[in-house]
Amino acid sequence: MEAERVELLSVVEDHYGGVVVSLENQEPVDSELFSSILEASMNNWKQQRKKGVWLKLPILHSNLVHTAVKAGFKYHHAEPEYLMLVRWIPETPDTFPANASHRVGVAVFVVNDKKEMLVVQEKSGVFGGTALWKMPTGVVNEGEDLCDGAIREVKEETGIETKFVELLAFRQSHKSFFGKSDLMFVCMLEPLSSDIQIQASEIEAAQWMPVEDYAAQPFVQEHEQFDFVAKICSSKLDGNYTGFSNVPTCTSSGKKTYLYLSNSDASLLLASKQD
């Protein structure tokens, strides 16, 4: 009697000799049945000399995680709605790209025509309860440009409307949140309003403060990085520092993005673009 034919998992081939399996549009399946289907599929991929297998399990299929792990899969990354597992097939070192390695944040220098900067005191976090006046800071959302993230964070924390001026500096640190690296971009914004309305859940207080008073705070002077950023901001106001403007452009695949470059170069490129 002919053995019953086991169906195979549907896949999309990636660009590197591997396959991507997604169960997003599948009904819940029994783990034992899935084990048989996965085993048959793995044998098929081995015969086809496939390299890596990406297995995307939506939260609806969380019962299949143990089955996949028993079949040699390991975790790659997780999002609120799914878990991505991977398995390398050949007897060679795997070349799966690592999961995202950095968190991206912004520290925002908002300064008015009186050379007063927008500062806040936070209710919680590292600086909660310290009475330190600091720049508004926050994390850039997934799919959000730096310039837009900076504008949003200021609006959320203080109610101030702004427009992006320049990227002044950035720093990279390691072994930070969940062991990942951290990128913090210092952005300069111009205020379009002046009346402060604080985000009561996170912000204790906010005000406009002379830049020199901010820089004179003992904490700022005693901590090199804060002192350095304060000096950069002061130099910018004195006309002795040039940051990077955001120039709209497109990637090779046609996606809209921003290129950050010095103001003089940005002006030349935009002028040539208009000619």
Q: Which residues are catalytic?
A: 156
| Cα 58 to Cα 62, 105, 119, 225, distances in angstroms | 7, 28, 42, 42
CA distance 131 to 121: 6
- Residue of 84, 118, 270, 82 lying closest to 205 (CA atoms): 118
H/E stretch holding 273 reads helix 263-274
H/E stretch holding 245 reads strand 244-250
3-state DSSP assignment of residue 188: strand
CA distance 168 to 228: 12
The vertex-139 CA angle with 138 and 140, nearest 5°, equals: 125
The vertex-69 CA angle with 59 and 98, nearest 5°, equals: 80
CA distance 116 to 210: 4
